[in-house]
Amino acid sequence: MNKAAKIVYCALFFAVCATPLALMPFVESNAEIEKKALTEMPAFISEGKINTNFSEQFESWFNDRLPLRSQLLSAANLVKSELLTSPSSNVITGSDGYIFFDTDKLDYMNTNAMTDSQIKAMAVTLSLIQENVKAKNGSFTFVPMPNKASVYDDKFPACYKKAEENNLSRLTKQLDELGVNYVDMLSLMNSHKEEGIYHKRDSHWNYLGALYGYDAIMNSLGKAHKTYNGVTYDLVKDWRGDLDKLLYPSGGFMDYQYRLNIDYQPFRFTAPVGVTDTQAQLEIFMSDKEENDNRIGTANMGEVDNTRLYMVRDSFGRALLPFFIDNYKNAMFVRTDCPELSMVAEGGDMVYEIVERNLKNLINTAPFMFGPEREGISAEGLSDGGSIETVASDEGYAIRVYGALPDDADMGNGRVYVKLSKDGEEHTFEAFPIYEKKFLGENGTNGFSLMIDPSLGLSGTYKTTVICGGTVRSGSDAVIEAKQ
């Protein structure tokens, strides 16, 4: 290469590098692309001191506003994902056009295995929820949605070795032992996988997969429902997958969607209020926009067989919305890690749906549910575990009694009982076997959380005793004020 050519090459190189900087004053924001609030320009002096984090904060501010950032990321990911089939932007490239969330590999290889105590805690938590719903003459079912890699393992890269068991398989075994009703979605999805019931470029199922899932959920609840047998559909290439967006923020490849030709009954939204165009709003809720969708209430305006549904869901539940709206007089769909059992009406049904990769969220925080009072729980003959600190917190609507248990504690069958005693008065409740991280910090594993029903009229200072795994422990006194 002669001298002139070298000069031209260097000039072009620096021109390309400088182009984003040159365009920066003319670009207003990357907020629409980033789908988040952009980082504010940091101050060099903060609270009268030099901001020691200025360089990191400035880098974040600069990256959020760099022109052509999305185009450059898309180009880089096109090379890595489509040509080199290497992981990029939290996406794993499989075969036949399938791409997967990078986190799918954790459940796939069982490298995120939870402890036996945590698995038991999840199963016991679900059994207590089911007991509460059944006491109201309702039906309950748990819906663990398998990760895409768990269904399309034949499309997942061979460099990842599939484990014989993982958190999902261990949990379902525990659910079987406790008699908790659930839908075996993994088997169902596997039975239909050849029909293409998950998107290739999205982490979720498509509308055809959701139709199969809805039917299985209603059968699990034991409820009469429309099956939509013989429904026709249009296979349209108009779906922009969440994984594709991660790879190509400035535009990528469209995926096929099954557009079902179903005439649903008219309905209205009870939450959010003020919706005038129900169909347009429903389409937004079924998309990945996730705008104001934490609490969706509906009222069917036609004739239906079922009265009330309370569904705890995640993003997989989006595709199920029209089916349940069409089959329940009133329905409430909530995105939360803390189910509110007070929302389950007498005779109402509850569906608890969560994807495999988020199973741990089942025990992040205890559901809003009053602990059932138990009879015949005795501390006689149990080993003495010493004393532990328990907390009685007045949360306005009820008293919560919670605490941590030793990380190496024998949790036995996962059942935790809290006994309150005062002047010959004694009450024993079953608590959720959940370590309350938001109250106790992130470092613990074993714990308990109990909400006391204010209608019981408990009032005063009670001695607490915690019974679990064949061990009895003395807790701190709990001060309970009667609620009006």
> What is the token pair recorded at 285?
């809720």
pLDDT mean across residues, the chain: 89
- With a cut of 50, say whether residue 16 has pLDDT above it: yes
In this prediction the pTM is: 0.84
pLDDT top residue among 38 and 244: 244
- With a cut of 50, say whether residue 74 has pLDDT above it: no
Query: Cα separation of 198 and 182, whole Å?
Result: 21
**Of residues 387, 367, 384, the one with CA closest to residue 449:** 367
Structure confidence at residue 314 (pLDDT): 97
Structure confidence at residue 86 (pLDDT): 47
* Residue 392: pLDDT band with limits 50, 70, 90: very high
225-242 tens-digit pLDDT? 999 999 999 999 999 999
pLDDT top residue among 450 and 46: 450
- With a cut of 70, say whether residue 159 has pLDDT above it: yes
* Residue 25: pLDDT band with limits 50, 70, 90: low
> What is the token pair recorded at 443?
């470092």
- With a cut of 80, say whether residue 456 has pLDDT above it: yes
Of all residues in the chain, the percent with pLDDT exceeding 90 is 77
Buried b / exposed e over 40-60, threshold 16 CB at 10 Å, is: eebeeeeeeeeeeeeeebeee
Structure confidence at residue 6 (pLDDT): 63
Structure confidence at residue 358 (pLDDT): 97
Structure confidence at residue 40 (pLDDT): 73
Structure confidence at residue 81 (pLDDT): 47
Query: Cα separation of 341 and 468, whole Å?
Result: 24
CA atoms within 13 A on the CB side of 231: 19
Map out the domains of the chain with their CATH numbers: 115-363 (no CATH), 383-480 (2.60.40.10)
Residue found by looking up tokens 């992130």 in the block: 442
39-70 tens-digit pLDDT? 777 776 766 677 776 666 666 665 665 554 55
User: What is the Cα gyration radius of the chain?
Assistant: 27
250-287 tens-digit pLDDT? 778 999 999 999 999 999 999 999 999 999 999 999 99
Query: Cα separation of 393 and 214, whole Å?
Result: 40
Structure confidence at residue 252 (pLDDT): 86
